[in-house]
Structure 1
Amino acid sequence: MTAKSSTNSTRLLTVGEVAKRSGVAVSALHFYESKGLIAGTRTAGNQRRYPALVLRTIAIIKVAQRTGIPLEVIKRALGRYPPNSKLTAAQWGEMSSAWREDLNARIRTLEALRDSLDNCIGCGCLSLEDCPLRNPEDVLGKDGAGARILEKEATAKHV
């Protein structure tokens, strides 16, 4: 089996070439393959080879990860198409629009959290009557005064 072919779409790359071209560590490529996100083949000498199209798949994975999309969601989206396939504009549109509402919801949540930070004095008590960040509507106040969340987290770490 040769590492290079006459057409770019059928050209096979070593794991090192894919890592270099994609900017992803070899260990991450192995992880992606173990999770079924990308697919490679093996040579007679048991060396991994990937079609050049895997670079597009890795680019999609990295963009999705940067937006906070979990790998399992990425895997489900990619699983609708053959491994290492060249997605059409329509397929990419379907995939990205499926993620759009989730991303918009997370953006709204982050904006609300950011805007709530102005009301927090950063005292760390976490049991203020009005703490929208960690104790909305003082639900922990019924258990008494003090930093309930911090106490629970500290206890859980030492158990």
Structure 2
Amino acid sequence: MTKKLQQIPLVRDLSVGDVAERAGVAVSTLHFYEAEGLIKGWRNSSNHRRYGRDVLRRIAIIKVAQRAGIPLKEIQQALNTLPDGRTPTGKDWQRLATHWQAQLDDRIARLTRLRNQLTGCIGCGCLSTDECPLRNPADILGDKGPGPVLLEPGE
């Protein structure tokens, strides 16, 4: 007597809970990503939210880019460059990462300057926002406009 093997149907789509668990994000994060146009899902005949398996790669790219400090709007713009919103390939990731590399280098340089200057003026104890005899004598930086002009690129 031969036993018939029970065939388990291959599930091609995932529930919101499955995606959240596998991607390591909260369900609310998935809803937010979808509202922002970063991922796409649909509702099945039972009105349950469903996602394709490819969404896991998109979420992984979003998480890595966020961890690198790339704002969500820029991540969305980059993902929107993919034809028909398809899943990014390794080649796509290389292109996106190369584009972001210059931004990250600039951010690292600005943060390094900030770290190195952090104790400079305020550390003296004067706490002056208008004039500091060491960092900004006679408020000469005021002519360059408002804001942290010493921390701008090229400084």
* TM-score between the two structures when normalised by the length of structure 1: 0.72
* Deviation for aligned residue 1:39: 0.5
Greater gyration radius: 2
* Deviation for aligned residue 1:118: 3.8
Closer, same or farther in 2 for the Cα pair 1:101/1:46, shift >3 Å? same
Q: Please provide the CA RMSD for this pair.
A: 2.4
Q: Name the SS of the counterpart of 1:139 in structure 2.
A: helix
Closer, same or farther in 2 for the Cα pair 1:32/1:84, shift >3 Å? farther
CA distance in 1 between partners of 2:51 and 2:9 (Å): 12
Partner of 2:45: 44
Q: Is the counterpart of residue 125 in structure 1 residue 128 in structure 2?
A: yes
Structure 1 unaligned blocks of 5 or more: 141-148, 150-159
- Cα offsets for 1:82-130 (capped at 9, x unmatched): 3351x22221111110111011101000001111124230633333234
* TM-score between the two structures when normalised by the length of structure 2: 0.74
* Deviation for aligned residue 1:131: 3.9
- Alpha-carbon contact 1:77-1:95 (below 8 Å) kept: yes
Partner of 1:116: 117
- Alpha-carbon contact 1:5-1:11 (below 8 Å) kept: no
- Find 2:85's aligned residue among 83, 86, 97: 83
- Alpha-carbon contact 1:51-1:84 (below 8 Å) kept: no
CA distance in 2 between partners of 1:28 and 1:137 (Å): 46
Partner of 1:68: 69
CA distance in 1 between partners of 2:67 and 2:91 (Å): 22
Closer, same or farther in 2 for the Cα pair 1:131/1:30, shift >3 Å? farther
Q: Is the counterpart of residue 34 in structure 1 residue 38 in structure 2?
A: no
Q: How many residues align?
A: 131
The one-letter amino acid paired with 1:16 is G
- Judge which range, 75-84 or 34-43, deviates more: 75-84
- Alpha-carbon contact 1:65-1:71 (below 8 Å) kept: yes
The one-letter amino acid paired with 1:19 is A
* Deviation for aligned residue 1:138: 4.4
Closer, same or farther in 2 for the Cα pair 1:24/1:139, shift >3 Å? same
Closer, same or farther in 2 for the Cα pair 1:115/1:12, shift >3 Å? same
CA distance in 2 between partners of 1:103 and 1:36 (Å): 24
